[in-house]
Amino acid sequence: MQPEVDRIAQPWGERTPYDRDGTWPVRVDSYLAPGVTVEGVQRWVPTASLLHSNGDAMDIAVVDGRIVGVRGRSRDRVNHGRLGPKDLFGWQANHSPDRLTTPLVREGGHLVPCGWDTAMERIVDRTRRLLAERGADALGFYTSGQLFLEEYYTLAVIVRAGLGTNHLDGNTRLCTATAAEALKETFGCDGQPASYTDVDHADVIALFGHNMAETQPVLWMRVLDRLAGGDPPRLLCVDPRPTPVARHATVHLAPRSGTNVALLNALLHEIIRTDRVDHAYVDAHTVGYDDLAARVADRTPAWAAGICDVPAAKIVEAAELLGGAERLLSTVLQGVYQSHQATAAACQVNNLQLLRGMLGRPGCGVLQMNGQPTAQNTRECGADGDLPGFRNWRNDDHVADLARVWNVEPSRIPHDAPPTPAMEIFGKAEQGDIRLLWISGTNPAVSLPELHRIRGILRRDSLFTVVQDLYLTETARFADVVLPAATWGEKTGTFTNADRTVHLSGKAVEPPGEARPDLDILLDYARRMDFRDQDGGPLIHWHDPESAFRAWQECSRGRPCDYTGLSYDRLREAGGIQWPCTDAAPDGTERLYAGGITWAAPGTCESYGKDVMTGDSMTEADYRALNPDGRAVLKPADYVPPDELPDATYPLQLNTGRTIYHFHTRTKTGRTPQLNAAAPEVWVEISAGEARRHGVAEGDLVEVTSRRGSLRGRLRITGIRDGMLFLPFHYGYWDTPEGDRPGKGGGRAANETTVTDWDPVSEQPLFKTAAARLTLIAPAAGALSPAPTTTASAPSGPCPAPATTGGKTAIARQATGDGAG
């Protein structure tokens, strides 16, 4: 193994092969700023990555009060020392000279610096005025999947019990709402069943709409290392793009977008037809088999082939792979969650797993993935559309139990309707019902669909907007008050990755200027608002991260996400530990449901479920009748076509998503030299056939237009399926503040074009299914497409663009064996 690798050119580093049921070898990846040596590092501060959901554990290197690099943690269960490109280089954004260092308030139309007292008093005054004039329903909160557990929990208590509004959601609504919903529909409760160690044992791994190679590169390294070892797993990839996952797959299905349910129904049909069903498991642990079997009885591969535009024989091949698996691990992500019939499709993957009896054993399980680093915590702390601790808002006993924890009257906690989903919060702001919107750790002016509309909402005079961020983002530019936040490395707290692994993230350095941890900002607000419990004591009775963590532990006691066996000291010592962690399971819990389904009984479940076609809620009585004994529910779904299909004017399917080098709206990765250089500008992907039909070629400047808006970018010709166009959604406007450029075109945010539409069950927006057209603006004339060549955007044929490399500045160390120390 080379000791040093260009980790832009080789994002996954080199292989450390291992055999099935073996132990994944350690490989410690590290990157230190030029001129810094390991010996020169004064302190190493433990944390985990905040740039995806994988939870890669690492130490921050500190010299003279500054972050100078990172090193993977060899002993951590998640990564065994490995880091991805964003993990290695992304910390540099902390030092960007344009970090916010003071609060800002709007004066005479302009944002001007001010002190914390001025900024906070403005927010408190506005809150009090709105509470008096319009009630708590005039207040809305839109938070993140990137803050810490302690912060979400504090926010949830402030909003739900302090202010008493139901209008609190996270950008997790755009991200993992469908994961949570699919788990609730099938298992009665949120909570990731499987574990990353299942990769070590599986003989078949199926990835549904999940570009793991680019979005969880360290987990993908684990898969690559198994592929390079003895008795490698076979992969099924379902994705219309030629992702690195697709290139390594035994079977790659590239369906029309929005047809997941049709494809999955055909796969279930084949599993049942060939009787690959584990009847003993199904009889013991599920309800709904007969209904499911009847609903897919005529959903043949030939039927699905016509809808998905995938050869029937390939669907049969995929079903053989799934049906023949001894140990099947399935993963699901945005190609399902942000596509048409999101929850219905995600539930069919759960059904597949249950029919095959592949749950709760090594190598067997489903990962309804998270995307953001701390999305799990947004959900479990109730800072999204759930009550804390996966309590059921429709179960009075659960509400009463939460009221007991908070020492308030149950009536103080709004629970007469479901917590308001993000798209509805913006809708209420648009209608003037919500008058104060507090946005923390998210950049909706780039990440929400149909940006022209979102800008209109943020610009409204009737809406008072607070934005809490690190930079003056596209969203912050619309704010009435901007609060400068401290971030990863500058504050302490915990967060939980996609396989329930909790990490402690330590403060390594001071935040810049007057920037404050999000927790401190919320505690300050709570103090100024003077929220009280029913005995007149302070509602928020904690004062720092560790005391907030303890308060949350009490709230989680006896719940599925039980944290009571953890502590900061234990996490500091042991590294990542998976919840539930209790006196009975002091080392955490590798897999849920190892001994059967545990949280689906009517009295304990988080949700009574919904109709997965319409989103209509089931009543408690419905649920008791369907599932009296608390088993897993096999919920069938019929395929229905997407609302917006290609037509003569907009002939292409519009697909949007990610590249390995950037995170979301690039506020951090765009400020990281190595990552920015690897993918500096937006591009547009289509197939060679589609390029011929449109008379365009590699590198041409093209315009993409939908019914909502347009953007421009240079073309990359790839192996993507015909009839589809792909846009990375990372590129916003932070270099050009004017935002809207009416009539001029030339924007570059994918969400100028995406549609305001959502899954009826999870209410997650559909970023992957709409229609668009492509027109030539100017031939390349020597200009190159900025798309990376190392990833899903690799050119399918000869291409003038040079291979993506990072050169000298992107050389990171990778150490194995004794050298890994």
Ligand X SMILES: Nc1nc2c(c(=O)[nH]1)N[C@H]1C(S)=C(S)[C@@H](COP(=O)(O)OP(=O)(O)OC[C@H]3O[C@@H](n4cnc5c(=O)[nH]c(N)nc54)[C@H](O)[C@@H]3O)O[C@H]1N2
Applying CB under 5 A, which residues contact Mo ion? 175, 371-372
Q: Tokens for 233?
A: 């797993």
Q: In whole angstroms, how far apart are CA 440 and each of 146, 295, 377, 428, 743?
A: 9, 44, 15, 18, 32
Q: Using CB under 6 A, which of 29, 214, 703, 752 touches ligand X?
A: 214
* Closer to ligand X by Cβ: residue 294 or 640: 640
Closest to 199 (Cα-Cα) out of 218, 221, 216, 223: 223
Position 660 contacts ligand X (CB under 6 A): yes
What one-letter code names the amino acid at 185? E
| DSSP single-letter state for residue 652 | E
**Those residues with Cβ within 8 angstroms of residue 670's Cβ, 6 or more apart along the chain or in another chain:** 662, 676, 730, 734
Q: In whole angstroms, how far apart are CA 685 and each of 139, 217, 716, 722, 794?
A: 41, 22, 5, 11, 10
Q: Which of residues 791-810 bind ligand X (CB under 6 A)?
A: 792
Position 701 contacts ligand X (CB under 6 A): no
Q: Tokens for 569?
A: 């000291």
Position 667 contacts ligand X (CB under 6 A): yes
* Closer to Mo ion by Cβ: residue 175 or 515: 175
* Closer to Mo ion by Cβ: residue 13 or 371: 371
Query: In the complex, what is the shortest distance from the CB of residue 587 to ligand X, in angstroms, rounded to a whole number?
Result: 28
Beta-carbon count within 10 A of 75 CB: 11
Q: Residue 443 touches which of Mo ion, ligand X, none (CB < 5 to 8 A by kind)?
A: ligand X
Residue 580, preceding bond cis, omega within 30 degrees?
yes
* Closer to Mo ion by Cβ: residue 521 or 675: 675
Q: Residue 696 touches which of Mo ion, ligand X, none (CB < 5 to 8 A by kind)?
A: none
Please answer whether residues 480 and 108 qualify as being in contact, where contact means their C-beta atoms are separated by less than 8 angstroms: no
Q: Site map for ligand X, 38-77, x if CB under 6 A?
A: --------------xx------------------------
d(CA 239, CA 720): 9
Residue with tokens 């906690």, as numbered in its chain: 413
Q: Residue 211 touches which of ligand X, Mo ion, none (CB < 5 to 8 A by kind)?
A: ligand X
DSSP string, 232-243: PPEEEEE-SS--
Burial of 318 (0-12, 13-18, 19+ CB in 10 A): buried
* Closer to ligand X by Cβ: residue 468 or 627: 468
d(CA 119, CA 105): 6
Q: Using CB under 6 A, which of 215, 420, 564, 718 touches ligand X?
A: 215
Q: Which of residues 618-657 bind ligand X (CB under 6 A)?
A: 655-657
Cα-based angle 330, 333, 334 (whole degrees, multiple of 5) = 155
Q: In whole angstroms, how far apart are CA 804 and each of 221, 661, 680, 809, 810?
A: 19, 11, 11, 13, 12
Q: Using CB under 6 A, which of 87, 239, 424, 450 touches ligand X?
A: 239
Q: Tokens for 6?
A: 């260009």
Query: In the complex, what is the shortest distance from the CB of residue 242 to ligand X, in angstroms, rounded to a whole number?
Result: 9
Residue 628, preceding bond cis, omega within 30 degrees?
no
Sheet of strand 493-496: strand arrangement? 493-496, 501-505, 577-578
* Closer to ligand X by Cβ: residue 328 or 332: 332
Cα-based angle 676, 678, 684 (whole degrees, multiple of 5) = 100
Position 665 contacts ligand X (CB under 6 A): yes
d(CA 157, CA 162): 6
Query: In the complex, what is the shortest distance from the CB of residue 663 to Mo ion, in angstroms, rounded to a whole number?
Result: 10
Position 658 contacts ligand X (CB under 6 A): yes
Position 241 contacts ligand X (CB under 6 A): yes
* Closer to Mo ion by Cβ: residue 45 or 174: 174
Q: Site map for ligand X, 774-793, x if CB under 6 A?
A: ------------------x-
Query: In the complex, what is the shortest distance from the CB of residue 647 to ligand X, in angstroms, rounded to a whole number?
Result: 18
Q: Which helix or strand (DSSP H or E) is residue 455 part of? A: helix 451-459
Query: In the complex, what is the shortest distance from the CB of residue 711 to ligand X, in angstroms, rounded to a whole number?
Result: 11
d(CA 234, CA 214): 19
Q: Using CB under 6 A, which of 138, 174, 267, 466 touches ligand X?
A: 174
Q: Residue 335 touches which of Mo ion, ligand X, none (CB < 5 to 8 A by kind)?
A: ligand X
d(CA 157, CA 152): 9
Q: Tokens for 791?
A: 């990833």
Q: Tokens for 57?
A: 């554990």
Position 706 contacts ligand X (CB under 6 A): no
- Stretch of 114-122, 251-259, 546-554, 795-803 contacting ligand X, by CB under 6 A: 251-259
Q: Tokens for 132?
A: 């008096």
| DSSP single-letter state for residue 519 | H
* Closer to ligand X by Cβ: residue 582 or 805: 805
**Those residues with Cβ within 8 angstroms of residue 472's Cβ, 6 or more apart along the chain or in another chain:** 98, 100, 104, 111, 482, 734
Please answer whether residues 48 and 505 qualify as being in contact, where contact means their C-beta atoms are separated by less than 8 angstroms: yes
Q: Using CB under 6 A, which of 563, 608, 663, 734 touches ligand X?
A: 663
Position 600 contacts ligand X (CB under 6 A): no
* Closer to Mo ion by Cβ: residue 381 or 696: 381
* Closer to Mo ion by Cβ: residue 371 or 670: 371
Query: In the complex, what is the shortest distance from the CB of residue 241 to ligand X, in angstroms, rounded to a whole number?
Result: 4
Q: Which of residues 435-464 bind ligand X (CB under 6 A)?
A: 440-444, 446-447
Q: Site map for ligand X, 267-286, x if CB under 6 A?
A: --------------------
- Stretch of 56-64, 142-150, 156-164, 409-417 contacting ligand X, by CB under 6 A: 142-150
How many chain residues touch ligand X (CB under 6 A)?
Answer: 63
Query: In the complex, what is the shortest distance from the CB of residue 39 to ligand X, in angstroms, rounded to a whole number?
Result: 31
Q: Residue 171 touches which of ligand X, Mo ion, none (CB < 5 to 8 A by kind)?
A: ligand X
* Closer to ligand X by Cβ: residue 372 or 392: 372
Q: How far apart are the first and last CA of the chain?
A: 16
Q: Which of residues 314-343 bind ligand X (CB under 6 A)?
A: 333-335, 338-339
Position 747 contacts ligand X (CB under 6 A): no
Q: Using CB under 6 A, which of 90, 162, 244, 258 touches ligand X?
A: 258
Q: Using CB under 6 A, which of 257, 589, 793, 804 touches ligand X?
A: 257
Give just the sign of the alpha carbon dihedral 380, 382, 383, 384: positive
By CB under 6 A, name the binding residues for ligand X: 52-53, 144-147, 171, 174-175, 208-211, 214-215, 238-241, 243, 255, 257-258, 260, 333-335, 338-339, 371-372, 440-444, 446-447, 468-471, 473, 485, 487, 518, 655-658, 660, 662-665, 667, 729, 750-751, 754, 767-768, 792
